[in-house]
A = this chain, B = another copy of it.
């Protein structure tokens, strides 16, 4: 598990998708699948699928294929979904609430145990059994709790400041929804969802009449 070299971003983006399709196969009761069948389903080449999987180990059996259950478990492990993450959400406006309420199913393992906001109208509200705390108490809270992930749902102007607090407080990863490119140290994981960038990419594709698009 240690000292593997850098996994390319392209592979990281494909892994959750493998997971989704394997989960689907599982619910269908399908026990084994070959890279060719998976290719048909998921749309990557069989060659790419085998290459991707072999980055992490030898999960298949020659002449047979891959066991769905086993591969699903392996990918979960690779993705770090075999553990739980203590998570806080900063900024409990529309988006923060949506994330907090977001279908439990898709957030298994990501336990939102703290909510913070600066707005006195929001502080004290209870969302999904968690009471919204005053953001002024964030740093103090982080000293007590061992938080893994901070979700940034504050506005652009405050995002970096909040991130700095979170990192001082020891979080391992940031899930950012603010429309800004945040600065974090190398050892901190950062994943940004830039909704407006995504919308603008859509608009580009509409103008250029699309043709193939990725995903």
Tell me how far the C-beta of A122 lies from the nearest C-beta in chain B, rounded to whole angstroms: 14
Residue among B17, B199, B209 making CB contact with A110, cutoff 8 Å: B199
> Which chain A residues numbered 169 to 187 have a C-beta less than 8 Å away from chain B?
172-173, 175, 179, 181, 186-187
Task: Point out residues on A near B: beta carbons under 8 Å.
Answer: 4, 6-7, 9, 12-13, 15-17, 19-20, 43, 78-81, 85, 94-95, 97-99, 101-103, 106-107, 109-110, 148-149, 155, 172-173, 175, 179, 181, 186-215
When distances are taken between beta carbons in the complex, the residues of chain B under 8 Å from A16 are 194, 196-198, 200-201, 204
| B196-A191 in contact (CB<8A) | no
**This protein's copies in its complex:** 2
For the complex of A and B, the 8 pairs showing the least CB-CB separation, nearest first, are A80-B207, A189-B205, A16-B197, A191-B202, A94-B98, A16-B200, A98-B98, A106-B196
Tell me how far the C-beta of A111 lies from the nearest C-beta in chain B, rounded to whole angstroms: 12
What CA separation (Å) do A121 and B131 show in the bound complex? 25
What CA separation (Å) do A79 and B197 show in the bound complex? 10
| B191-A213 in contact (CB<8A) | yes
| A173-B202 in contact (CB<8A) | yes
Residue among B7, B43, B172, B206 making CB contact with A189, cutoff 8 Å: B206
What CA separation (Å) do A205 and B192 show in the bound complex? 12
When distances are taken between beta carbons in the complex, the residues of chain B under 8 Å from A181 are 17, 43, 215
When distances are taken between beta carbons in the complex, the residues of chain B under 8 Å from A196 are 16, 20, 106-107
When distances are taken between beta carbons in the complex, the residues of chain B under 8 Å from A155 are 103
Residue of B nearest to A80 (CB): B207
What CA separation (Å) do A159 and B190 show in the bound complex? 29
What CA separation (Å) do A179 and B24 show in the bound complex? 12
